[in-house]
Chain A
């Protein structure tokens, strides 16, 4: 089951996009960049999915009257990937909206700063003093 070279290139491209996106999610600091990285990763995932139906030289599987004589690509992944793209766009839009609101509330677009502020907020909401690294647990140990 050896793959033709073109397919290898395509699959490698899709997987690379996926990896680039995920790496961007891990390595970026800026919230908008994180959302963009997510977009790249999603594009990779979508490409991978649509590639599973790809056949070299095949035509689009559009049935108008008579079936075409040549091979057709698998239409299912195409239908699926449309859905996935729509979902992805929706999620990214939501993410950007949240970035805006977070920036308005916290005045920062940096993930680590946001994380620290969030933990402070959580502690404050619970009425806890800020946590030192070597502090004792909240209450006495039972043993």
Chain B
């Protein structure tokens, strides 16, 4: 029952999140330590589960309810990787100056995000997604400046509208298949969702999830929110939450909607996102919005990469996503002090050599200079697109490469301003120690991974092979030892007016 412990990874931060405000009333420090302990425990649990699984997969039926009815967690490399990233990144981007309420929201965000990574059931995904959303609204609104509240409200309205679409998509899926378990869906999808209705369901879910995943064009909140909140929160939202939403989309694409049209929709929207994001970043006049728009462009590349069918696309997408997870939050930390108008930063980088070096490093990696990881991610993306060889895929590759030119232009233009010999009117304050430390850690990991490219590449390939193995997923969730497939596909109710629809009550519940 080792794998079952993984529920703790979600439960502990959630519990700590609920305790935190109460505890914080007497001692803020205690609440902070509680949060750290919960996140560390969550990370430790996930790590030990990963080690024990040793490259295998497992399914966990939460509370003993067997799939396809109960809440299922599915553990494979990809899920555990992102789940593990959640507590680690949250710890690094902990709202140090926050109130106990902010700690609570951060912990809830972490718990929900972990759940998003692990969940093997669409409705749970919806619940965790909403929980993530609410926690992030709260965190954005907790910022004292009034612009943060306005941004939070606008973010909320857009995100809630997206959630309604997601819910509608879920309803359509359920209408067609009578199940929401991803493994069960994977067995039913080939016969029940391969039509325009299924495609519409995917489109609805893609757009609903796309709000968080910064998918074009439902990402209007991105520049407003990222430039209103602290660099830490922006890093958390841009780095972590967006990736988890993408992960959910990818799971749905691989397991439930393996149709070229679905991938094409993702490709087209991702491509447009790259174009619009990078061009808008070129025009941006302040650093935070530049990074925000650049983040939209990068997420576009992630979508484009994941749209390539098969393990090649997953490897490329994972590489780009992880690279962005590493670099963009760190850049947002640097924007904490350099957040103002770019023109006002003239010469600000001179004298702050660590920060400048980190900026250069991240910029080089984002542009894709070998041998930095960003290059390999970009190369994998372009090659998998070219390998696919269809017109839209080639167009996507061309756009990825053209965007690189634009990206290099604005990033190094900004660097040119930062390192200009003549200095501006007033130079910004030096960076805070913790911000610099976190950014340096990201930089070290980035440089370190250059020396571990081979194991990293092999690891990603193994993850991708596991992720596209639909049969393996179904076997693990439905056909594991001691888990009888109680509801073969043929019995599942289909269509609205189908046969008798009864609750699928597994015998275990009665006993």
Contact = CB atoms under 8 A, between A and B. Distances in A.
Contacts of B289: 122, 126
Contacts of B152: 98
Nearest to B414: A139
A58 B283 CA distance: 60
Contacts of B134: 87, 90-91, 94
B419 to A, nearest CB: 13
7 contacts: A25-B161, A71-B501, A101-B141, A114-B150, A115-B154, A122-B147, A142-B416
B171 to A, nearest CB: 4
B157 interface: yes
B348 to A, nearest CB: 12
Contact of B168 (A45, A126, A141): A45
Interface stretch (B243-251, B301-309, B447-455, B490-498): B490-498
A61 B154 CA distance: 40
B130 A139 contact: no
Contacts of B497: 1-4, 7
B182 to A, nearest CB: 15
Interface residues of B, number: 65
The main secondary structure of chain A at its interface with chain B is: helix
Nearest to A71: B500
B153 A102 contact: yes
A115 B151 CA distance: 9
A128 interface: yes
Given A98-B152, A102-B153, A142 B412 contact: yes
Contact of B147 (A121, A139, A140): A121
A34 B145 CA distance: 23
A73 B105 CA distance: 37
A42 B171 CA distance: 12
Contacts of A71: 500-502
Interface of B: 69, 123, 126-127, 130, 133-134, 137-138, 141, 145-147, 149-154, 156-157, 160-161, 163-164, 167-168, 170-171, 174-175, 178, 180, 224, 227-228, 282-286, 288-289, 339-344, 409, 412-414, 416-417, 493, 495-498, 500-503, 505
Contacts of B495: 1
Return the 3 tightest CB-CB contacts between A and B, nearest first.
A138-B285, A105-B146, A126-B286
Contact of B227 (A7, A34, A48, A125): A125
Given A44-B164, A46-B167, 14 more contacts: A1-B496, A34-B157, A35-B157, A41-B164, A45-B171, A52-B171, A53-B501, A61-B502, A98-B137, A98-B141, A106-B146, A125-B228, A126-B340, A138-B343
Contact of B501 (A73, A94, A123, A128): A73
Interface in A90-143: 90-91, 94-95, 98-99, 101-102, 105-106, 114-115, 117-118, 121-123, 125-128, 131, 137-143
B174 A87 contact: no
A13 interface: no
Given A3-B496, A44-B164, A142-B409, A87 B227 contact: no
